[in-house]
Structure 1
């Protein structure tokens, strides 16, 4: 994602809070992160906090997640794609909802560490409105979609994530809790 794309996103959706974090992850997690970036120029994800008019939050789970673990949907903006359009596409692909991105909330520059190995990554967090009923559009990638709440995400789901001892889940918990602090 280019600086021009981000500048247009900030002009349209507002300037995000920018944070820099370091997160230790396990060797198998580092191998997964490195493998996912090999041969790609994508070192980012866009995480969407999609709310419906009743204030419910769209949550997804992947097939390999332990029971009780859900998270906000997300993915990558493709080369040549505008930020909001890419985020909305990812939201639709993962939740089946018609998504309209409303605010660029947070940009986290994280360095994942494992022993002496480091991998930079950036997570862009957006707020969005969603219409429709959540549905799994890609059953190979997404194991489930549901409406939940920030309280659930930052409470029992966070507890389940942290209980795994996995660094990438701990990172997601920190992201979710940071978003909860920034929401009005």
Structure 2
């Protein structure tokens, strides 16, 4: 798919800047070496959260350097620390190296280890949905990759071939069956997400069958085996709302580790506007003009997807402006 001036740039979760140094993972003792090196930077993952702080300070309270990047999303930074003795007994993930050669390792800590009965956010422990847009490129990539790997490990502790336990190898990027030695690799489930625009340039919005009133987004769905991305766009639109698309154009993509997807964004056009909704998938669907969408946002009748979602960027691409520029400052718009 060729990149064009229409391609969405700087998507919130597509900003990783580390070299993944995949060949290093083959060294059996690489994690031990890294966790024995005080220069290694460690990020803890507790459930679906990591600890963050204002970008003006580092984990030890000193002023931040330039290593986290300098881009629009730099209001927060990850709390990174040197390795500690307990890390050797935790699930370790070699996430890569920066341009200075500094290694970054994720360690998965049981939630109970840090459970003090307080709201985790009070101590800076945020989810990727909460923090992703405010992180600079390096840290957004670290969080996204670490969460995707942690999610995969949590759901693949047993071999899909024989049911025996598996254990992590290759610095957390492979799991090996303890009975028959088969190796299993992190999975990523591709999903398409698309705006559908009619001849009057109206956008098709849908509300999922289990979504609350007012929660609308563009359509999306998983790619099926043996299917191209463009074919998946056409099939999903036809299945969910009964509309046939005429043309499909690529807009961009980003990882979506909730738990293990990558979202591939498209813009589709159609000459048909009659909707036949699948009630299993959709509660309702509607066409909106740009001015109607602005009015619905201002009135609070609809909510748009969150800032880290490619769905929000796709809607703004069609709208020609950011959602935040439509409504008064401080007005809640996302979900």
State which of 262, 267, 286 in structure 2 corresponds to 1:122: 262
Deviations 1:17-71 (A, max 9, x none): 463515349xxxx9xxx7xxx79x5523211111010111111111222212211
Match of 2:306 in 1: 170
Tell me if the contact between 2:194 and 2:314 (Cα under 8 Å) persists in the aligned partners: no
Distance in 1 between the 2:193 and 2:294 partners? Answer: 15
| 108 and 153 in structure 1: CA distance in 2 versus 1, 3 angstrom threshold | farther
Q: Distance in 1 between matches of 2:290 and 2:191?
A: 20
Provide, for residues 149-177 of structure 1, a one-character-per-residue CA deviation record: whole Å limited to 9, x for no partner: 45655774596537xxxxxx4257x4344
Structure 1 residue 78: deviation in Å?
Answer: 0.8
Question: Where in structure 2 are the equivalents of 1:1-184 lying within 5 Å?
Answer: 10=1, 16-17=7-8, 19-21=11-13, 22-24=128-130, 43-112=189-258, 119-132=259-272, 133-136=274-277, 138-150=278-290, 156=296, 160-161=302-303, 169-171=305-307, 174-183=309-318
Residue pair 1:87, 1:101 contacting (<8 A) in 2 also: no
Cα distance in 1 for residues equivalent to 2:307 and 2:285: 21
CA contact (8 A) 1:161 1:170 kept: no
Equivalent-residue separation in structure 1 for 2:291 and 2:265 (angstroms): 18
Q: Give, in whole Å, the separation in 2 of the partners of 1:107 and 1:152.
A: 27
Distance in structure 1 (CA, Å) of the matches to 2:265 and 2:283: 22
> CA separation in 2, counterparts of 1:59 and 1:85?
20
Helix, strand or coil for the counterpart of 1:131? coil
Higher helix share: 1
Bigger relative contact order (CA 8 A; separation at least 6): 1
Q: Is the 8 A contact 2:246 2:268 kept in 1?
A: yes
Number of aligned positions between the proteins: 151
TM-score (norm 1): 0.64
Deviations 1:132-164 (A, max 9, x none): 21220x2112111211145655774596537xx
Relative distance call for 1:123 and 1:149 in structure 2 (3 A) is farther
CA contact (8 A) 2:188 2:262 kept: no
**Which consecutive aligned stretches of 4+ in structure 1 deviate over 3 angstroms post-superposition?**
13-20, 149-162, 180-184
Bigger strand share: 1
Structure 2 unaligned segments of length 5 or more: list them.
14-127, 132-146, 157-186, 321-335
Q: Distance between the aligned counterparts of 2:189 and 2:288, measured in 1?
A: 28
| RMSD over aligned Cα atoms | 3.5
Gap runs ≥5 in structure 1: 1-9, 113-118, 163-168
CA–CA distance in structure 1, aligned partners of residues 280 and 297 of structure 2: 23
Contact 2:306 2:312 (C-alpha < 8 Å) held by counterparts: no
